[in-house]
Amino acid sequence: MTELLVKWFIRDKENVNDAKVRQSYGRLSGLVGICCNVILFALKLFAGLATGAVSIMADAFNNLSDAASSVVTLIGFYMAGKPADLDHPYGHGRIEYLSGLFIAAAILMTGVELMKSSIEKILHPEAPDFSVVSIIILIVSILVKMWMSRFNQKLGKWIQSEAMKATAADSLSDCISTSAVLIGVFIAMATGKNPDGWIGALVALFVCFAGFSAARDTIQPLLGQAPAPELVKKIRERVLREEKILGVHDLVVHDYGPGRRMISLHAEVSYKEDILEAHDLIDNIERDLMKEFQCSATIHMDPVVTDDEEMNQIKKMVEDMVTAENADWKIHDFRMVRGSSHTNLIFDLAVMPEDLKRKQEIERRIKEKIHDADASFYAVVTVEQSFI
């Protein structure tokens, strides 16, 4: 069904990094969400009013909030697809994250209100009047929400949208909460006891959890979340595919919204390479990165000495020292300045963000270890943060 809807309503569906295509996916997800949730809200509202069950009413208004969230999804994808302008040279892609954050806030508010109603029902219980019709409505709701979860999960995976993945998770939590309501109905019918308020509270907890999860997933990219390890690996592999590229460091991935990445890195080449040929190679790699990852790529070319055996051995010694301290630390831009009485070893040391608070201690320890290895060696170390 998902593939059929995509085929009917989305042109050029394979080009998922194009802003217009992403808008089409967002439009499809939003319209499907609005239609399904409004229908479920109407059915459950009817069942809730007919039976007086607060748990069913709570589930109905949960669907209404989901419909409102789908409206926000529509608006968010439309605005996120707007092209760059003078005030926003990096485009408007992060609006997609903001729309997801708005949805999360709405879900949390709904959960809080549902919890208030459920507590009131626990303190002042009323006997609900369940019917076969209400049971059928709940079962239909579970099946529809299961399909919606799979639908949004597929779309979110295809276009790498955290907003859609959050919507899928929300639909799955709705399945669980509606199942809880249905179980409460069966308990009431079988035992005559009324767990309605407690079931409503449980539904409210699921709604709040879904809102918290959605907020977490949308806030992370806005705060500067680290790029996915798989993406970093693919970028490295593509750059190092060229034989003349000897190493990669200072790789940074800036996220300005889905399909709007900016990549910068340093690529090491032999100092013996013809500078014009090396520059042409770097330009070709930048174009390939832009084509493969739909990003803007900027590469700084670093010339490195490759035929100095003594320097290579000393560099290996320093790398081993650094690795012994921490396997995640890396050195780059290694140079030697030889003198009559001593030799300066100059390099940058990339450490994890949490290690920066020990920056001076790390610098001192590395300098001491190098000097202890050979008294004529003096290290000039620049400790910096690794962004991947």
Residue recorded with tokens 């832009």: 290
- pLDDT tens-digit readout, 174-229: 787 778 778 877 887 777 777 777 877 887 887 788 778 778 877 888 888 888 88
**Average pLDDT for the chain:** 85
Strand 343-351, strand 377-385: pairing: parallel
String of DSSP letters for 271-306: TTS-HHHHHHHHHHHHHHHHHHH-EEEEEEEEEE--
- Taking the C-alpha atoms of residue 169 and residue 254, their distance in angstroms, rounded to an integer, is 26
DSSP 246: -
Q: What is the CATH code for 2-222?
A: 1.20.1510.10
- Residue spans per domain, the chain: 2-222, 229-385
- Taking the C-alpha atoms of residue 378 and residue 370, their distance in angstroms, rounded to an integer, is 7
The total of other beta-carbon atoms located within 10 Å of residue 354's CB is 8
String of DSSP letters for 190-234: HH----HHHHHHHHHHHHHHHHHHHHHHHHHHHTTPPPPHHHHHH
What integer pLDDT is reported at residue 201 of this predicted model? 83
Q: Report the DSSP beta bridge partners of residue 304.
A: 270
The CATH number of 229-385 is which of 3.30.70.1350, 3.10.580.20, 3.40.50.450, 3.90.25.10?
3.30.70.1350
Which tokens is 385 given? 């943060």
Residues 6+ apart with CB under 8 A from 15: 21
What are the C-alpha distances in Å from 188 to residues 63, 109, 199? 23, 28, 11
- Taking the C-alpha atoms of residue 215 and residue 166, their distance in angstroms, rounded to an integer, is 9
Residues 6+ apart with CB under 8 A from 32: 5, 70, 148, 151
- Of residues 139, 99, 58, 388, the one with CA closest to residue 257: 99
pTM of the model: 0.64
User: Which range has the top average pLDDT, 7-11, 170-174, 228-232, 362-366?
Assistant: 362-366
Alpha-carbon torsion, ordered 344, 348, 354, 360, to 10 deg: 30
pLDDT-derived band at 128 (thresholds 50, 70, 90) equals: low
Q: At what angle do helices 54-80 and 162-191 cross, to 10 degrees?
A: 170
Count of H helices and E strands in the chain? 11, 6
Which tokens is 305 given? 């000495």
What integer pLDDT is reported at residue 376 of this predicted model? 92
What integer pLDDT is reported at residue 130 of this predicted model? 64
Q: Report the DSSP beta bridge partners of residue 264.
A: 252, 298
What integer pLDDT is reported at residue 127 of this predicted model? 63
- pLDDT tens-digit readout, 93-127: 788 788 778 877 877 887 787 788 778 778 877 66
